[in-house]
Each structure stands twice: as C-alpha cells, then as structure tokens.
Amino acid sequence: MRCPFCSHLESKVTDSRTGAAGDVIRRRRECESCSRRFTTYERVEDVLPLVVKKDGRREAFQRQKLLSGIKRACEKRSIPIEAMERAADEVEKDLIDAQDKEVASKVIGEKVMDKLRALDDIAYVRFASVYRSFRDIDEFRAELERVAATPRPGAEP
C-alpha cells in the first residue's frame, strides 16, 4: 500500500478491525520508510450495475457520487453523517441485491428520495427539487403540500 506521505510502496499492518456491519475492514498501517501511520479501508468490490442516465448515456455506479448528493441535500440539517452513509449503503445494497446489469438513474433517485423522506423532510424536498426539476413554483408548492400532508415514515404521530 502506497504511503500517502512519502509514496513509499511498503507498509506494515499494525491493527485490523472489522466494521460494525462486517462489510469493511479498517487497517492501521505504518510506512516502512518514513514510519508515519495511516488508515486504509478494505471492502469487497461488488458487481454494481451501469447507470442509465436520462439522455441514454451509461456510466458506472459511483457510491461517492450518490453520497455526495445525499450530503448536499442534508447540508445544514442536524442529520448525522452515519445516517447519510447508512442511506447510501442501503441504496447500494438494493442495487447489488437486484443483480441487474443496468438500472435507470430514475430508479436510484426514487430510492434516495425514500431514504431522505424517512430522515428529514427538508432534505427530501431539497433533493426532490433538483431531481424532479420542478418547472415552476406551483409544482414545488404541490410537492410541499404532499409532504406536509403525509406523515414521514418512522416519525412519531
């Protein structure tokens, strides 16, 4: 593993721990050249489907891009990063479990909106406003009214 400080290729593992869900291994390493320590994460590379965009283009699924969109929607909200990562993990797991070779970006967007709706109404509306590309204020108002009228999944009545 390349050292992020001196770029030396040799390091030794000083500690290994399994993540809470058991899907990630966290390793503490020490560079054999500069002796600085750093952390790496190891996860099984799953076979993920290609994402079919609205314009027909196909691109590889990128978890980081998914998480970035979720974080942007949750900006300045009191939502723990763990909850955002869990939402991204659940969407990714759904895609892996489906075992499809291709998935429409619309399907992913709907899954993200379901997860955000359960987390926070404001984050949901932020994501929906970008994802659904509301044409005018009336469409946006209709979505707000629908959200206000429906209780959030998992929320107390």
Confirm whether 140 is domain-assigned: yes
Q: Is 39 helix (H, G, I), strand (E, B) or coil?
A: strand
For residue 1, tell me if it sits in a domain. Answer: no
Q: Which of 107, 110, 6 is nearest to 52 (CA)?
A: 107
Among all chains, which residue has been given the structure tokens 């987390």? 119
Least confident window among 5-9, 72-76, 95-99, 129-133? 129-133
Q: Is residue 58 part of a domain?
A: yes
Side-chain half-sphere exposure of 113, counting CA atoms within 13 A: 16
| Total of domains in the chain | 2
| CA distance linking residue 89 with residue 70, whole number of Å | 11
Comparing 8 with 136, the larger pLDDT belongs to 8
Is residue 56 located within the same domain as residue 116?
A: yes
Does 134 score more than 90 pLDDT?
no
Q: What is the pTM of this model?
A: 0.63
Percent of the chain clearing pLDDT 90 (strictly above)? 64
Residues 95 and 141 occupy one common structural domain: yes
Helix, strand, coil tally for the chain in percent (to 5): 45, 20, 35
Instruction: Indicate the pLDDT class of residue 156, thresholds 50, 70 and 90.
Output: low
Q: What is the mean pLDDT of residues 116-135?
A: 86
56 and 100: one domain? Answer: yes
71-94 average pLDDT score: 94
Whether 157 shows a pLDDT value over 60: the answer reads: no
Residue closest to 27 by CA, chosen among 50, 43, 8: 43
* Close Cβ partners of 148 (under 8 Å, ≥ 6 residues apart): none
Distance (Å, whole) CA 114 – CA 94: 12
Q: What residue numbers bound the domain in which 118 lies? A: 50-149
Q: Are residues 72 and 116 in the same domain?
A: yes
Q: For the residues of 74-100, what is the DSSP string, one character each? A: TTTS---HHHHHHHHHHHHHHHHHHT-
Is residue 145 over pLDDT 90? no
Query: Does a structural domain hold residue 137?
Result: yes
73 with 124, same domain?
A: yes
**65 and 138, same domain (yes or no):** yes
Mean pLDDT over 79-93 rounds to 94
